Every structure is written in structure tokens, then in C-alpha cells.
Structure 1
Amino acid sequence: MAKYLINEEYDVQEAGAAKTFGKGERRRDYADPWRETGNVVLIGLPGSGRAELARLLADRMGKPVLIPSEAQAAAEALQGLGAIIVLDDRLVDDPGVQPLIHGAGKVFYLMADTRLLSDRVAGRGGVEGEEAAEDLWRQLSARLAEVEPVFYGVLHFILQGAQSPEDLVGDALEKIGY
């Protein structure tokens, strides 16, 4: 099916021209939701470090942290101003919330492999036994397959969730400053 995804030819004036964005360059080809809202939105799977990164950013930026647990609260948070908003994967995938995310502020996806995420979740949630840990890993892997395309559809930046939140805060602040 993928082989039919791109099947049109286009004539371009400069066939060899390319545009790339390196670290520190400002992207000027999309509207900057940050200027309008001042929001930072953190998305990712459980164990990615969203809540801890939000706390660290709040300390540095003096903004409140909002962690909505239901769709209505998430929609209200995304329509507000000047907050750090932490959304779990269930809310990112919600049809009433998803269309609001990209324009609500700068959106960061904390990406990490599911083995690492399951180890983190198991460590803090009291998951005991190898079989339970393996089941958690399978559940997170299946969930990632479902929701990662949604994450890609709403994000502005990717942060490496394999790093600790303390190591990510500087990178996030730099990107917020773009």
C-alpha cells in the first residue's frame, strides 16, 4: 500500500535545491502558536518524563502546570494562556482534544522506546514479576503503534525521552525560545 503513497511528478525550478533546519535556526514557515498563547504542551506515553519535565520548566519559567485528567478539562487548558500542559496519550488521541493541540502552544513529544518506558512505569508502579513487566511492555508497544502517528500530527518538537527530565530542560527551553 505504501508504494502508492507518492505517485505524482512535479516540475520545480531548482531541482537540486533543499532547505534544512539546524539546531538554533528559527522556522518561519509555520505560525508560531507560542507567541499567541505562551503555552507549552508535553505529550508522550507513560514513563516518558512529562510531569517531571513540566515541573522543571515551571520552576524555570514561572508558569503553572496543568495536568488535565479528562477531555473537557484538557480542551479548556489548551484554550487558555501561559501554562505548561501535560497530556497523556488517551487525551491526545481524544477526537475533541486532538484538533486543539497543535495550535495551543509549542508541543513537545517526549519520545522513548517502550522497553525503557515499561521499565520506568514498572519501577514506580510496583509491577512485580518478569511476566507482569513483559505484559506491560507489550501493552505500551501496542499503544505506541496506535498513538504515535497522532503524536507526529500535533507536535512541533521531539525530545529524547530516554534522557532524564533534568537533561531535557535545557533543550526544551532553547526550543521554547525559537
Structure 2
Amino acid sequence: MVKYLINEEYDVEEPGAAKAFGRGDKREDYADPWRETGNAVLIGLPGSGRAELARLLSGRTDKSVVRPTDAKSAAEALRGRGAIIVLDDRLVDDPEVRPLIHGAGKVFYLMADTRLLSDRVAVREGLEGDEAAEDLWRNLSARLAEVEPTFYGVLHFILQGAQSPEDLVDDALEKIGY
């Protein structure tokens, strides 16, 4: 199944009309999920550096790292407070978990090229040979095509996963206003 970023078509009464921002429509009028929950949620594909960034953020914020393994524990973590939550891509795409993510805290998508991700995963898992690396790259590329629209739908910020987690931690802390 292929998902597309824009799935719905809308009929509008006045196609040429412009919208002016009113009370409640400005960014600063919306609740800040970080202030409400104290959570930071890290999403991305394998190899993007979510786990290491979570460890570094935890050390700088004294918040615990939670890495749910199923939809039930993910929903529980997302309803909780004061944690660094690391979500695997399959949980981000889970229909029970997806609606909870955006409002659970500041959501960071660690975006990176699938070639880089596959190289990192191959090294981490000790995979050898061009064929194994090529298969891994194809699988990650196919998975990205499926799940990236969901990532875009729940994120607050994009971090460049090509950078090391050590290089990203200060940027993430600035974005969560810590």
C-alpha cells in the first residue's frame, strides 16, 4: 500500500479567497506540547540516531528514556509526562499510536538519506557484502516511501539525521526550550 502526503480533496466555497490570521490562528496561540507534557518524542528510520540522541538528551535534561516495544506501551508512554520517547517507525505508523504522537510533546523527525541509514545499520548489525547492503538499502527506501508521510503528519521539528547525535543535541535542546 502506498500512502501519499496529500490524500484528500476539498471543495471550497471561494477558491480565490485569502485568509487573514485571527485570534487562535497564530502559532503562539497554540498550546506548547512540551510545556503541557515535558516529553520529547524522537521518530525516524533505523540508523537515524534516535537512541543515541535520546541518551544525550536524557543526560542533559534528567528525563528518562522510554523506548516502547508495542502499541500499548507506546500509547502509555505518549500519555505520560516528562520523558524522552523513542518510537520505532512501525509504532509511528500504528493506527492506535499515530493520533497520540503530535500532542504528546515536541516531536523530532531525524531525517536522513536511506543510503546513509543502510550503511549505519549494516555496520551496527555486522552485515557484510554488497548484496546484503543493497537489500538493506532497498528495504529502507521502500519503508521510507510508506512511512514518511506519517512522519510529516506528526512532527514539530526536523533534525538532520546525517549529523551525529552529539551535533544535534544542542539544536534539539534549543527547540524544546530547555
Check whether TM > 0.5. yes
What is the aligned residue count? 166
Q: How does 1:1-178 map to 2 (within 5 A)?
A: 9-12=15-18, 27-177=27-177
RMSD: 2.1
Provide the residue aligned with 1:21 in structure 2: none
Deviation at 1:32, TM superposition (A): 1.0
TM-score, normalised with respect to structure 1: 0.87
| Aligned counterparts of 1:116 and 1:41: Cα–Cα separation in 2 | 22
Identity among equivalent pairs (%)? 78
Secondary structure of residue in 2 paired with 1:94: coil
Aligned counterparts of 1:86 and 1:73: Cα–Cα separation in 2: 12
Flag as ranges the 4+ runs of structure 1 deviating above 6 A.
Answer: none
- The CA distance in 1 between the partners of 2:63 and 2:41, in whole Å, is 12
The 1-side partners of 2:92 and 2:84 are apart by 15
Q: How many angstroms apart in 2 are the aligned matches of 1:12 and 1:146?
A: 33
In the TM superposition, what whole-angstrom CA distance separates every residue of 1:32-76 from its partner, at most 9, and x where no partner exists? 111110000000000000000000000000000000111100000
Letter in 1 for 2:17: D
Quote how far apart the aligned CAs of 1:30 are.
3.1
Task: Work out the CA distance in 1 between the residues paired with 2:91 and 2:51.
Answer: 15
Partner secondary structure for residue 28 of structure 2: coil
What is the TM-score with the length of structure 2 in the denominator? 0.87
SS in 2 for 1:31: coil
Structure 1 residues without counterparts, runs of 5 or longer: 15-25
1:28 CA displacement: 1.3
Amino acid at match of 1:10: G
Distance in 2 (CA, whole Å) between partners of 1:93 and 1:112 is 18
Which structure 2 segments of 5+ residues have no match? Answer: 1-5, 21-25
